[in-house]
Amino acid sequence: MKVLVAVKRVIDYNVKIRVKADNTGVETANVKMSMNPFDEIAVEEAIRLREKGLATEVIAFSAGPAQCQETIRTALAMGADRGVLVQSDAELQPLAVAKLMKAVVDKEQPGLVIVGKQAIDDDSNQTGQMLAALL
Measuring CA to CA, how many Å separate 84 from each of 5, 64, 129?
10, 11, 21
Report the pLDDT value the prediction gives residue 92, as an integer from 0 to 100: 86
The beta-strand segments (E) located in the chain are 2-6, 9-11, 33-35, 57-64, 82-87, 112-114
Longest dimension (CA), the chain: 52
- Looking at this protein, which amino acid is placed at residue 7? V
DSSP H or E segment with residue 46: helix 37-51
Domains in the chain: ranges and CATH: 2-134 (3.40.50.620)
**pLDDT tens for each residue of the chain, 135 residues long:** 999 999 999 888 777 777 777 877 666 677 788 999 999 999 999 999 999 999 999 999 999 999 999 999 999 999 999 999 999 988 888 888 889 999 999 999 999 999 888 777 775 566 666 666 666
Report the pLDDT value the prediction gives residue 77, as an integer from 0 to 100: 97
Report the pLDDT value the prediction gives residue 123, as an integer from 0 to 100: 57
Report the pLDDT value the prediction gives residue 133, as an integer from 0 to 100: 65
Measuring CA to CA, how many Å separate 64 from each of 24, 51, 68, 131?
20, 30, 6, 17
Report the pLDDT value the prediction gives residue 16, as an integer from 0 to 100: 76
Report the pLDDT value the prediction gives residue 109, as an integer from 0 to 100: 96
Question: Sign of torsion, CA 37 43 48 51?
Answer: negative
Q: Are 32 and 15 in contact (CB under 8 A)?
A: yes
